Amino acid sequence: MTLSTTIAIKEYTGDGSTVNFSFPYLVFQSSHLTITVDGVTNTDWVAATYGAGAGVTVTFTTAPANGTDIIIRRIVPFTQTTDFENFDGNPADVTEKQFDLCVMQAQQLDENLDRALVVPVGTSLTTNIISGTIDTSTRVLTLTSSGPALSTVAALDTDITTVLTSVASGDLLQYDGASWVNKNMGEIIDGLTAATAAAGDKLVIADVSDSNNPKEITVQGILDLAGVTSYTVNAQTGVTLTLLDYIGIADTSDSNNNKKALVSDIFGLINGITADTTPAVGDYIVTNDVSDSNNPKAVTIENFYKTINGLTEDVSPVAGADYVITYDASAGAAKKVLISNLSTSGLAAASQAQQEAGSSTAVYTSPGTQHYHPSAAKFWADVSHSGATPTLSTSYNVTSITDEGTGDLTITIANDFSSANWACVVSIEGTTPTTAAEPSSAVITLKAAGSVRIGFFLDNQTNWAVADPQDGWHAVGFGDI
């Protein structure tokens, strides 16, 4: 045989079902194959047709798991076991096999050398023997012209500390053109060349919406949040900055050590925001007009509440702690306003008393209080009849109905009226109102703060008699509760 390739290794990835894997290189016997699965030697396989130039097929008894790393290598021994005798013939196949094994050994050494660390050509070492002690402690391999050596991590730390000065938590390594030195963020910032910032320049921030990973934000993005109107707002790139994101600063009160600051805190410092305790609906909020190249515009609080959309809802705002940003027209400046103070600006929900009075135009009607208004029904009931049996089909503010007898029913109200002085309207539902059995009149026979009793009567022009509605009836109540 001949060896036309220098490759003696084949790698596959298991899929959990394949058991046959080709090794397309010459191999003479099974002991010359070494197979690992995820770095662990595996012997659960067989192969056939050794000595063929096309190689062999390795068959696993159990398919390697999905995603496992399968490596098949040819490893021949560094021995020569064929004894050639004088005048005993020289079979070509025997001789060629020995040549093949010699080349396989060379290829094997070359493959190992490809994965070894070597020094550059021309490097002179006093020795290539690794000095130092090998024990259970963690050690690092170092190299000088005196040769390789093992050093403890503690010894390396001592060496580094002697080069650096006053190493402190948060320090960064900086190359000053001659050597590596340690500096804090403040010292690095101080050493930068001053420049006039442009709106398109970028800053590095910690994005709190993405595990505080560093992101870039344009200077204009900062200006947008700060409500600065001196610049034309350009399209922001990098990341959308929020008031809860961080920016790196040099703390001058702490030896310029690097610190992180919330954008909201910087926003407050830049603008000198003070609380507006008496905002009015005509005051302004600063926004970006997306229909006009994101230029900043002023919007009244009233219009802001009419048009705001697309924001993440704060389902539990704290009235005495959370703020909204407004523009104080009287001061010509942006200010922050506690949510609790917005209630004094005409944006509060109407109270029960205001709903019952029905006269205020400075409050809004909320779902929780609208039923207190005099024009609103305080209860209603839809009752169906099947023969003489009444059923409460649907209702509002009704606890139950009671069948007191033929043509005689009582409605029990859930949230009572404040007194018995209220109005009740009853109507009879029927598909055959002209029949003799269908009542034509409903009478309020008893009314209290928490209930009403209704009687239904026939009118046959000769006498009045009680009767049950044939299909159903309805009742509505109005008054003060």
In single-letter form, the type of residue at position 82 comes to: T
How far is CA 455 from each of CA 39, 293, 414, 465, rounded to the nearest angstrom? 92, 71, 21, 10
pLDDT tops 90 at residue 267: no
Summarised one tens digit per residue, pLDDT across range 319-362 is 777 877 776 777 767 677 777 776 545 457 788 888 888 888 77
Which amino acid is located at 294 in the chain?
Answer: N
- In the predicted model, is pLDDT for residue 67 greater than 90? yes
> Cβ distance 262 to 245 under 8 Å?
yes
The tens digit of pLDDT for each residue in 88-137 reads 777 888 888 888 889 999 998 988 888 887 878 887 878 878 777 777 77
- Burial code (b: 16+ CB inside 10 Å, e: under 16) for 317-327 equals eeeeeebbbbb
Name the amino acid, one letter, at 406: T
The predicted-structure confidence for 416-430, as pLDDT tens digits, reads as follows: 999 999 999 998 887
pLDDT at res. 288: 58
Q: How confident is the model at residue 234 (pLDDT cuts 50, 70, 90)?
A: very low
Alpha carbon 158 to chain centroid, angstroms:
43
What pLDDT is recorded for position 243? 59
Torsion of CA 98, 99, 105, 111, to 10 degrees: -150
At 285, give phi and psi (nearest 5°): -120, 140
Total Cβ atoms within 10 A of residue 336: 19
Structure confidence at residue 35 as a pLDDT band (50, 70, 90): very high
Structure token pair of residue 392? 């409460």
Backbone angles phi, psi at 258, to 5 degrees: -70, 135
Instruction: Tell me if 371 sits within 8 A of 415, measured CB to CB.
Output: no
Q: Cα 415 to the chain's mean position, in Å?
A: 45
Is the pTM higher than 0.85? The answer reads no
Enumerate the domain spans of the chain: 1-118, 284-345, 379-478
pLDDT at position 305: 61
Q: What are the E-state strand segments in 7-158? A: 9-13, 20-23, 33-37, 40-41, 45-47, 56-60, 69-74, 139-144, 147-152
